[in-house]
């Protein structure tokens, strides 16, 4: 059963990790998928070719969602190419970790711009299309760190907490137009970023997770499929942790 057949979805920051898996699982469930990448050009182009094997319409865009004008142009280009836009997954994000006393203004501003401002930019542009259609879905990727904070990640935690407040506000504003807005909050997920960590450190983290393992990107992607599909038609303004019980 293909839960997203006939839907057009945009996934930001999809060249690797969780975003890549979301784009892949969406395509496998029958969605037409537009996605963005920025620095990982070769990976983005390779993903476009790979996803086309699922038989739906696929197109990658090199775009910086943290820039307001680029986000507006992206949505315009996607609608021109695909005809409409049903689902937006705001996934693009970075980390610039460091203790508060050592954190530079640049580290703060860059993380807030890429992680939080990008969600505003893309959502504002896409909501115009969805309001005309009187339907749509926003899925915004936060983190367990956005719920409970974390030492050495004040900028990241602030950006991810901001996403939660923003998403809940959008759910209240746009609900009357049949537009839903929800948050997915991953915990410790194994990606290219975590593969470089000391295995003993990873084992220690996993020992403190009730399910006693790290999550996989598909664990997050599967929850996103549920939220993007009509199976979650009465779910909006919610935070769904995908964290093995950490929260």
> Residues 6 or more apart from 159 whose CB is under 8 A from it?
93, 111, 112, 115, 116, 146
Is residue 156 marked as binding? yes
Q: Which listed residue (37, 61, 156, 234) is catalytic? A: 156
Is residue 160 marked as binding? yes
Is residue 18 marked as binding? no
Is residue 91 marked as binding? yes
Q: Is 231 left (phi over 0), alpha (psi -120 to 50) or beta?
A: alpha
Q: For residue 18, give the nearest of 216, 242, 208 by alpha carbon.
A: 216
Is residue 159 marked as binding? yes
Other C-beta atoms lying within 10 Å of the C-beta of residue 5: 12
37 catalytic per annotation: no
Q: Which residues are known to be catalytic?
A: 156
Q: Show binding-site residues.
A: 91, 156-160, 189
Q: Show binding-site residues for NADP(+).
A: 91, 156-160, 189
């Amino acid at each position: 059963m293909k839960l997203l057949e006939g839907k057009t979805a945009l996934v930001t920051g999809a060249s690797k990790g969780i975003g890549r898996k979301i784009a892949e699982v969406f395509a496998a469930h029958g969605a037409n998928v537009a996605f963005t990448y920025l620095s990982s050009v070769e990976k983005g182009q390779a993903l476009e070719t790979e996803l086309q094997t699922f038989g739906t319409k696929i197109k990658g865009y090199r775009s910086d969602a943290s820039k307001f004008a680029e986000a507006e142009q992206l949505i315009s280009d996607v609608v021109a190419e695909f005809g409409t836009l049903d689902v937006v997954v705001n996934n693009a994000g970075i980390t610039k970790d460091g203790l508060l006393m050592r954190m530079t203004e640049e580290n703060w501003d860059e993380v807030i711009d890429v992680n939080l401002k990008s969600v505003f930019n893309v959502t504002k542009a896409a909501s115009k299309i969805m309001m005309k259609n009187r339907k749509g879905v926003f899925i915004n990727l936060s983190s367990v760190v956005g719920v409970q904070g974390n030492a050495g990640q004040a900028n990241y935690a602030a950006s991810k907490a901001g996403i939660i407040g923003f998403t809940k506000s959008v759910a209240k504003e746009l609900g009357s137009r049949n537009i839903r807005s929800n948050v997915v909050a991953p915990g410790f997920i194994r990606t290219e970023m975590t593969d470089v960590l000391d295995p003993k450190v990873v084992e220690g983290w996993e020992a403190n997770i009730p399910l006693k393992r790290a999550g996989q990107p598909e664990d997050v992607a599967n929850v996103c499929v549920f939220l993007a599909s009509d199976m979650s038609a009465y779910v909006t303004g919610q935070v769904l942790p995908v964290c093995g019980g950490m929260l």
